Each structure stands twice: as C-alpha cells, then as structure tokens.
Amino acid sequence: MDRIRLRGGGPLEGTIPISGAKNAALPLMIASLLTDETLTLENVPRLRDVQQLFHILANHGTDWSVEGKRAGQNDMTGQTVHLCARAIVDTTAPYELVSTMRASFWVIGPLVARMGVARVSLPGGCAIGTRPVDFFIQGLEQLGAEIEIDQGYAIARAPNGLVGARIDLPRVSVGATHTLLMAAALAKGETLITNAAREPEVVDLANCLIAMGAKIEGAGTSEISIQGVERLRGARHRVLPDRIETGTYAMAVAMTGGDVTLEHARGDLLTAPLAILERAGAEISETNRGIRIRRNGAGIAAVDVETDPFPGFPTDLQAQFMALMTTAKGTSHITETIFENRFMHVQELARLGANIHLDGQVATIEGVERLRGAPVMATDLRASVSLVIAGLVAEGETTINRVYHLDRGFERLEDKLGRCGADIERISG
C-alpha cells in the first residue's frame, strides 16, 4: 500500500491546476445511463472513484473510452470521456463493484427510469456515519416505483415507467437530489423536488441533463421542477472545477504561507470557505487565471465554523480547516452538522501534536505553537488530506499510511504540492 512522506518546510509558491470536480463527474457519468446515445464529458479528473465508476457502468453495458492527449495538453489536463449505454444489458449493480463507493448507488435512478427495474447493492463508501438511503427509496416510491430490500440489495420496479410527483426531501441530500433528478427526467409528467440540494454539482448535472433534452427548472434553488420527457439524447458537457480541491489547496497555502494561484478555480463555488479563510488571515483575489491566495508574515487567527449544505461551509472541507486551526492563535470551534461521525482525523491530528477536544458534534481546537511530524493513518478521503496539510508545517517527517483514500478524490496531489515547493513524495508498495 502506498504511503506519502512529507517534511514540514517553507511556504508554497507557484501554480496549482484545479481538476474537474469528482462530485460532479460521478453523477454526470451516471447520467449516461439515461440515453442510448453518446455522452461526452470534458475535464473529467483522473481518480480512483472515476475508474471504479467506469467498471460499474461497463457492467450495465456502457461502452466508454478516454480520448488521447491533444496538442497543448499535459498530465494535469482533465480527460475527455465518451460514454455510450446503447443497450442496458444488466440492471444489477453488484456488491463487489458498488461497495467501495457510495455514489454508485445513484445508478438506481436512471436504471429504473429507463429500464423499469434496477437491483442495486446498498452502498458502502467513506466510514463517516451511517449514511442511509431512505430518502432515495421514499423519493423513488413517490415516483411510482415499488422498492424491496432483499439480501443487501435495493430492488426498484416500475414496469410501466415512473410518474412525476411532488417529493419533499426530509433534509438536504446531494445524492438523493441527483438521483431523483435523473429519474424524474424520464418520468411521465411533472415532478417537483422541494428542499433540494443547491450544490453547484447539482446545477452541473441539471445543465448536462438539459443539454441532453431534459426539461428542468430551478436547479441551484431548493425547488427543482422537472417536466419528464420520453427520451434523452447524447450531449457534450464540461465538468465544473472542483471546489473541494480548490478549498483544500487554499487552506494548505493559508497554513504554510506563500503565494499560489489555483488555476481554473472559481470563487463563486466556494464563497463561504474563502470568506472564512480571509477572516483567518489569508489574502484572496480572483484573477483571470483562477484564484490567488497569499499569506505573508502574520499568523493565522482562530475562527469558528459550522458545516452546512451549500452555500454554507462544506463538510468536505471541515477536516482541512481543522488542520489549519491547529496552529492558529487562540481557540476555535468547529461544528459538524452534516455527518455524525466525521471527526476521525482528530486522533491523527493529535498524533502530530494538535490540541483538540471533542464534545459530540463540536470540536474545540486550542492552537499550538508547532506540530511535530509522526506516522499517521488516512481514515477517509477528506480526513487524509487534512493530515497532508498538517504535515506541510509539522517539524520533521510525517508519513501518511493508507493513501488509497487520497487517490479516490485528489488527482496527483504530491505532484501539485511538490511543484510549489513542498517536500513530499509517494512511497510505493
């Protein structure tokens, strides 16, 4: 199993290209199941979750290919992917393929909408709480599907097709919004989703579905209406930049000091975290190349944060922000409201010398003068990158084990940081 070794050091200086968003690419790829024509996606990141989803989609009968490099492109340029589910040959998403990635459960929506039946293994994914699927099941039932849970599988049946309905989501769920949006696109009549997720990735999916011929209004607000259509066609769509990757590197620069341009990043996708970083002492500006982040001299101030659905502070940046707060001047509080068990990085940050007290959903962080390198363990995707951020300033050597978690969601992390002066390397095996 690969490890990452890094030595805390000086500031980061240079340019980091921001990849296409993993959390947009996954639902967009799944949307290819809705049509027998080719969906072409540009700017797809090279990540383990993306590779895994290719396998899952191929099992349903999707042909996929990745375009070769064109002049002017390099290893950091997002890939262009063609997906064509001309015929769905299998409506089962088996446990072996689905268990490592929760988002793969979302195939249930397009499969039942197009084929009238779907049999999908209940999901696994990051160990950050129970993450149930009740909203998906209730929502699909409201669209007329019959759902049965049998031997670890959710089986959805709608032999006469789905029928539009009003769906009031009990709480904001990104995955349920994606799935019901895709299902409703092929349902008969109108669907209204209330309390819908407003995340930019939902808007990206809706824009792609619209390009495929869907009739959708209100994506990006909490009420989305969908007028079902009989069939969808192929389209070409560019995946939006990854706001979580952007926020992660912005926090890394706030942590180490320096001056870095996050190329292709879009500030409007992460207004809340950038405002928090400014309060903590970073200087942020938008340029025509992306976002420039600087911190020179002054230390980091302690700032309280509560995670919330978009446009609030994203739970996917909570661990990284906690890493930043470990060396802030003073005491900060971080409240996690989305997932009940998303503090596994606390123990590992403590191994680097952080002073964090946990009380239910609230972490209290007393800033310390310095962190010290140590061997640590990556526990989930975002937690593992928080250890990288801490390791960038920890005295001496930090080794992060189980970095396969990182590879699920961060493309070429060690290259991107290494080019900006970080002393970081991957040790294979």
Binding site for ligand UD1 (CB under 6 A): 23, 26, 102-103, 129, 131-136, 171, 173-176, 201, 314-316, 338-339
- CA 219 – CA 324 distance, rounded (Å): 33
* Residue whose CB is less far from ligand UD1, 64 or 339: 339
The burial class, CB within 10 Å (0-12 / 13-18 / 19+), for 255 is buried
Name the minimum Å distance from CB 397 to ligand UD1: 30
Cα–Cα distance between 169 and 126 in angstroms, integer?
23
CB of 147 to ligand UD1, least distance (A): 12
CB of 381 to ligand UD1, least distance (A): 8
- Other CB atoms within 10 A of residue 415 CB: 14
- Indicate which residue of 84, 126, 208, 420 is catalytic: 126
Phi–psi pair at 261, nearest 5 degrees? -100, 125
Which of 102, 345 has the CB closer to ligand UD1?
A: 102
Residues 421 and 417: their CA atoms lie apart, in Å, by 7
DSSP tag of 144:
T
Q: Is 208 designated active site?
A: no
Edge to edge, the sheet with strand 117-121 lists 92-93, 117-121, 153-157, 146-150
**C-beta closer to ligand UD1: residue 201 or 411:** 201
With the C-alpha atoms ordered 81, 84, 85, 90, is the resulting torsion angle positive or negative? negative
Residue of closest CB approach to ligand UD1: 175
To ligand UD1, the closest distance from the beta carbon of 155 in angstroms equals: 17
Q: Which residue has the tokens 């403590």?
A: 350
132, burial (CB in 10 Å: exposed 0-12, middle 13-18, buried 19+): exposed
The nearer residue to ligand UD1, 315 or 327, going by C-beta atoms, is 315
Reduced DSSP (H G I as helix, E B as strand, rest coil) percent helix, strand, coil of the chain, to 5: 35, 30, 35
Phi, psi of 203 (to 5 degrees): -65, -40
> Cβ 345 to ligand UD1, closest distance in Å?
14
**CA trace torsion 329, 333, 338, 344 (10° rounding):** 70
Residue 383 vs 420, nearer CB to ligand UD1: 383
Q: Which two tokens stand for residue 340?
A: 């009940």
Q: Shortest gap between Cβ of 118 and ligand UD1 (angstroms)? A: 16
Residue closer to ligand UD1 (CB basis): 52 or 332 = 52
Cβ-based nearer residue to ligand UD1, 120 or 352: 120
Q: How far is the CB of 217 from ligand UD1 (least distance, A)?
A: 22
Any idea which residue has 């099992």 for tokens? 59
Q: Please list the active-site residues.
A: 126
